[in-house]
Amino acid sequence: MSELAASTTETPDLESAKAKALAAGVKPRKYGGWYVAEHRLLSMRTYLQTMVATGVGTPLLYLYAMGVGLATLVDADQGQGLDKVSYLVFVAPALICSAALTTATEEFSYPIMLGFKWNPTFFGMNSAPLEGGQIINGVTYSVLFRLVAQSIVYYLFMLLFGAIPSPLGWLSIFAAVATGTALGTMLMAYASRLEEDKGQFNYIMRFGVIPLTLFSGTFFPLTALPVWLHWIGWISPLWHGTELSRVFAYGYSEPIWLTVTHVVYLVALTAIGWWLARRIAVRRLNK
Amino acid sequence: MVVVSASKSPVVAAESLTKKYKDFAAVDGISFEIAQGESFGFLGPNGAGKSTTMRMVGAVSTRTSGSLSVVGLDPNNYGPEIRSQLGVVPQADNLDTELKVRDNLIVYGRYFGLSRSYLGPKADELLEFAQLKEKAKERIDDLSGGMKRRLTIARALINDPRILLLDEPTTGLDPQARHILWDRLFRLKEQGTTLILTTHYMDEAEQLCDRLVVIDKGKIMAEGSPAALIRKYSTREVLELRFGSEHNAAAAKKVEGLGERIEVLPDRVLIYSDNGEATLQKVTETGLNPITSLVRRSSLEDVFLRLTGRSLIE
Ligand SMILES: Nc1ncnc2c1ncn2[C@@H]1O[C@H](COP(=O)(O)OP(=O)(O)O)[C@@H](O)[C@H]1O
Ligand SMILES: [Mg+2]
């Protein structure tokens, strides 16, 4: 036995096995992340109806309730609406971001818990040629796909409601997607670490995301809050996304450095969360 | 230098392979080689380190020390390449319950970069092999345990693997489901697929393995074909006597010297001898009256008992 191990000459059939392996590794190494995304999108089909219903229903309901219903009160009271525009125009760029945030919160948490724990398909992917980083990439691609699709639909409804005065309005799609990924990839990193689900995500939703939505300048400007609460906005991806979205949608005026800060903050959070999630996934799969 | 004939070159070679979790060595310096086309087993009780070994061979778990080569490559650097040549049946099923039976195969095949047009017919062929053709459109949750295992095996074959790794393939299945599964594995073996399997069932090891290692507490205790191991570590036959749990130890004292070796278990006394009937005769001559007596052939269970002083299934 040890004689075999010590012999360095490899036999022809082992050489050919090796060559075959090296060739078969090329495609998975290159496209592995896309295979995972393809799988995730196929899984999303199981809740396609829910996805379409929320994708269409949410903008319709929110834009109508806030932008038309509540707006009659706000606009009458303020004369000019908020921020010198009608309440509809003020609130719509925030709503598109908040919808993206809600979707991202779901898509970056449950599928991750599912894949590592409840129905550990990630271990199956890893037994095939895929690597931990590719699995995280694939999940991220698929969520990006859904976020973009959903935000485009939202944007079209905003147009329909007459909520987009600026020609740059379509860029609020970018603001919305970045809002989703900024918080979402962080959640993905957290979910990748989570060994047990004791309802942490419900907590995050109820005591994290919903308060964020209330205090991130969504329904009223951050400046309406006492100064000692402004920090919530400053750390909140939703506030940065919303402000950015307003700049695009109706030319909300703020210093250019602040606009750049929004973009940098959202992109940086996305990148850090993504990178962390990849590291954690690789470590978790390698038992 | 030894000239190794082509048919004997190892597709898996491990030398002092070790995996430690903190200070605990789950796999403690094992060396083995597996040839192409061979059916090789790791037989050992729970916690022996079988799954840990399989994960290292499967290139998903980094070894702590030692050397390991799978299809001539080091898993530390060539994980995806090695895994492209493997089919893996893990100890716990991880089929995707969100997808239908057939889609599970196709999606898995995509991970290897295989095209959808290739995978369609391939999936049908494998469903046929796994006797799951009628279940193609079913949900995973509606399959029985045996069907899930067969589907997992079908999934592992989607890339025509050079090596099939099976971690306790029949644990938790009823006898009928086990036999169906063994039959399928036997076919693969006949077709020349290299099988590497772990089990704590000695009958499974005897049925499926050309060669096996007995593993306990992370170490290899013995290596050989099932028949050779039995020949080396046990007698041809075993006489099993029950005197009632209170009396077993006392009775064992009296029959000392009969047969080649005696093992006293909580519920029975085993006397190892090449002729069980003759030994039973001698036992009755001593005036002892066992409640039940049974003569059987030696098995790998006896080998394990001899090597470790414990039985395989606790
Ligand atoms: N990820 C892990 N962390 C710590 N200990 C582990 C881990 N995996 C396995 N072990 C330990 O290593 C030993 C061998 O486990 P395993 O390889 O699963 O045994 P087997 O498959 O033979 O039952 C056991 O004592 C187990 O508790
Ligand atoms: Mg195990």
| CATH number of the structural domain spanning residue B272 | 3.30.70
Each domain of chain A, given as residue ranges in start order, spans 33-285
**B72 and B217 share a domain?**
yes
Q: Is residue B305 part of a domain?
A: no
Reading the block at residue B214, the tokens are: 């007995």
Of the pLDDT bands very low, low, confident and very high (cuts 50, 70, 90), residue B215 is very high
Supply the pLDDT for residue B145.
93
Q: Environment class of residue B192 by beta-carbon count within 10 Å: exposed (0-12), middle (13-18) or buried (19+)?
A: exposed
Supply the pLDDT for residue A81.
55
What is the distance between the alpha carbons of residues B62 and B68, in angstroms, rounded to a whole number? 10
What is the distance between the alpha carbons of residues B295 and B154, in angstroms, rounded to a whole number? 40
Q: Do B110 and A123 touch (CB under 8 A)?
A: no
Which residue in chain A is spatially nearest to B141 when comparing CA positions? A119
Supply the pLDDT for residue A1.
39
Residue identifier of the C-alpha nearest atom 26 of ligand 1: B47
Q: For residue B200, report the distance from its CA to the centre of ligand 2, in Å.
A: 9
Residue identifier of the C-alpha nearest atom 4 of ligand 1: B21
Question: What is this structure's pTM?
Answer: 0.92
**B80 and B220 share a domain?**
yes
Average pLDDT over every residue of B165-185: 92
B97-123 b/e (C-beta count within 10 Å ≥ 16 → b): bbbbbbbbbbbbbbbbbbeeeebeebb
Rg (CA), chain A: 23
Contact B167, B90 (CB under 8 A): yes
**B212 and B87 share a domain?**
yes
For residues B66 and B171, which has the higher predicted lDDT (pLDDT)?
B66
Supply the pLDDT for residue A197.
79
DSSP three-state, residue B242: strand
Mean pLDDT (chain B, rounded): 93
Range of the domain at B285: 235-297
What is the distance between the alpha carbons of residues A172 and A96, in angstroms, rounded to a whole number? 8
For residue B212, the domain's CATH number is: 3.40.50.300
B167: left (phi over 0), alpha (psi -120 to 50) or beta: beta
Q: Is residue B309 part of a domain?
A: no
Q: Which segments of B217-298 are extended strands (E)?
A: 219-224, 237-242, 261-264, 269-273, 292-297
Q: For residue B50, report the distance from its CA to the centre of ligand 2, in Å.
A: 5
Number of domains within chain B: 2
ipTM: 0.91
- The number of angstroms, rounded, from the C-alpha of B5 to the middle of its chain's C-alpha atoms is 27
pLDDT < 50 regions, chain A: 1-8
Of the pLDDT bands very low, low, confident and very high (cuts 50, 70, 90), residue B101 is very high
What is the distance between the alpha carbons of residues B295 and A234, in angstroms, rounded to a whole number? 81
The residue out of B225, B256, B278 marking a domain boundary is B225
Minimum-distance ligand 1 atom for the alpha carbon of B167: 21
Q: Environment class of residue B173 by beta-carbon count within 10 Å: exposed (0-12), middle (13-18) or buried (19+)?
A: middle
What is the distance between the alpha carbons of residues A187 and A109, in angstroms, rounded to a whole number? 6
Pick from A134-138, B108-112, B256-260: least confident = B256-260
Reading the block at residue A98, the tokens are: 């908040």
**B213 and B250 share a domain?**
no
Long-range contacts at A270-276 (CB < 8 A, ≥ 24 apart)? A270/A178, A270/A181, A270/A182, A270/A184, A270/A185, A271/A185, A272/A185, A272/A186, A273/A181, A273/A182, A273/A184, A273/A185, A273/A186, A273/A187, A273/A188, A273/A189, A274/A136, A274/A140, A274/A181, A274/A185, A274/A188, A276/A185, A276/A186, A276/A189
Q: From chain B, pick out residues whose CB is under 8 angstroms from the CB of A13.
A: 6-7, 9, 36
DSSP three-state, residue A82: strand
**B243 and B187 share a domain?**
no
Q: From chain B, pick out residues whose CB is under 8 angstroms from the CB of A286.
A: 60-62
Residue identifier of the C-alpha nearest atom 18 of ligand 1: B51
Residue B110 has pLDDT above 50, yes or no: yes
For residues B255 and B72, which has the higher predicted lDDT (pLDDT)?
B72
**B53 and B93 share a domain?**
yes
